[in-house]
Structure 1
Amino acid sequence: MSTILYLTASIRSESESVSRGLGQRLVDGLAARTGAAVITRDLAADDLPHVSAARFAANLTPSAERTPEQADLAAIADTLIAELQAADIIVIASPIYNFGAPASLKAWADLVARAGTTFRYTATGPEGLLTGKKAYLAIASGGTPVGSDIDFMSRWLTFFLGFLGIADVDIVAADAIMGEGGEAKIAAAQDAAIGLAA
């Protein structure tokens, strides 16, 4: 059975968040089509730690060589990496905050980027080790047009996933929804999410 990893990063609730609504439509459609099991992780609610020097060192230390303190520090990254490795499909639902990614999504990225595990350094440059996976990004923004010069979130996230070897990425967006026609943009994005998952 295949597995969908569903990550959400909005600080808003299910009923208030546009990105969560888009992401859930994608997940529901993909799960219905593929029969995949779904692992859900709410990055905003999980209060993920930021990487410190000690946590960075623990994450790079082989598990058999970690001290008990290092094992504690590396435990959350180990869990997040295992979820990512197990997934065939990754759905990331996120708003754009201040032109970029929410801090919780950046914290997740910092924790799952582990040299020798999710990517490796080679003579020709870094190589992603999480190949063969498909990713979907469900993005919402109040004023930032997705794909524009002021959108530093979707470009960064697409690049980051590619860095890990996940190069097949589709985006559905309800963007610049605080302006005129916002409700119509949300409805169109919801239809697009359903179509993308079909």
Structure 2
Amino acid sequence: MPQTVLRIDASARREGSVSRDLTDRILARLAPEAQVTVRDLAHGLPLIDADWVEANFTQAEARTPAQRQTLALSDTLVAELTAADLIVIGLPIYNFGVPAALKAWVDQVARAGVTFRYTEAGPEGLLTGKRAIVAVASGGTEAGSEIDFATGYLRHVLGFIGITEVEVVAADRLMLDADSSLKKASAQVDTLRAA
């Protein structure tokens, strides 16, 4: 069983969110006694800007106090991710892609020299040995289809920073057949292996 879990909720909805419900169920099954850090993105995250980029590409020992403050949230988000054995992400598909707040989270944690590095053989993720489960909810987009630009993107980003064990639980196409979709997702949760 995982000891430390990072739960990321990307749904703008706090009530009636299918992705939040799936995340609840995944955690109840796999990590009922784990220490869970919750990162709720419902209110968004700051977007990276020129000051952030400059601070990020300044050597840590040379950063000014203002630059350290600029990166403080990013450092916290990276620390949450680094500490977790299991990452559970509630991913609603908005307009075929990830919610803007989740993209902002990705931009804050994908940092060269911190969560990945470039080598002569190409990029290398530094956050290895972790497992991620992505709880997908969509109204009309079929998870994994050619119009789903969310799950493949998130799987790629996680792999890029070293998290290659990524599983997807999908309650997709809810507007077409919610009952069947929810039953399918529930069955997927029930078959997730515990460790």
Give the structure-1-normalised TM-score.
Answer: 0.93
Q: Which structure 2 residues correspond to residues 14-163 of structure 1 after superposition, within 5 A?
A: 15-32=15-32, 35-45=33-43, 47-163=44-160
- SS at structure 1 position matched to 2:107: helix
**Given the superposition, is the C-alpha separation of residues 6 and 197 from structure 1 closer, same or farther in structure 2, using an over 3 Å criterion?**
farther
Q: Which structure 2 residues correspond to residues 158-197 of structure 1 after superposition, within 5 A?
A: 158-179=155-176, 181-196=177-192
Q: Is the 8 A contact 1:25 1:194 kept in 2?
A: no
Q: Is the 8 A contact 1:138 1:171 kept in 2?
A: yes
Q: 1: CA distance between counterparts of 2:42 and 2:193?
A: 24
| Unmatched segments (≥5 aa) in structure 1 | none
What amino acid is aligned across from residue 135 of structure 1 in structure 2?
A
What amino acid is aligned across from residue 165 of structure 1 in structure 2?
G
- Segment drifting more, 138-147 vs 64-73: 64-73
Q: Is the 8 A contact 2:12 2:41 kept in 1?
A: no
Q: 2: CA distance between counterparts of 1:65 and 1:110?
A: 22
Q: CA deviation at 1:197?
A: 5.4
Q: Is the 8 A contact 1:26 1:197 kept in 2?
A: no
**Given the superposition, is the C-alpha separation of residues 59 and 143 from structure 1 closer, same or farther in structure 2, using an over 3 Å criterion?**
same
User: C-alpha offsets along residues 74-116 of structure 1, whole Å, 9 cap, x if unaligned?
Assistant: 0000000000000010001110001000000000000101111
- SS at structure 2 position matched to 1:191: helix
Q: 2: CA distance between counterparts of 1:177 and 1:38?
A: 28
Q: 1: CA distance between counterparts of 2:69 and 2:24?
A: 32
Which stretches of structure 1, 4 residues or more, deviate above 3 A after TM superposition? none
Bigger helix share? 1
1:12 aligns with 2:13: yes
| Unmatched segments (≥5 aa) in structure 2 | none
Q: Is the 8 A contact 2:55 2:70 kept in 1?
A: yes
Q: What is the root-mean-square deviation of aligned Cα atoms in Å?
A: 1.4
**Given the superposition, is the C-alpha separation of residues 197 and 8 from structure 1 closer, same or farther in structure 2, using an over 3 Å criterion?**
farther
- Segment drifting more, 67-76 vs 77-86: 67-76
Q: Is the 8 A contact 1:59 1:77 kept in 2?
A: no
Q: 2: CA distance between counterparts of 1:176 and 1:65?
A: 50
Give the structure-2-normalised TM-score.
Answer: 0.94
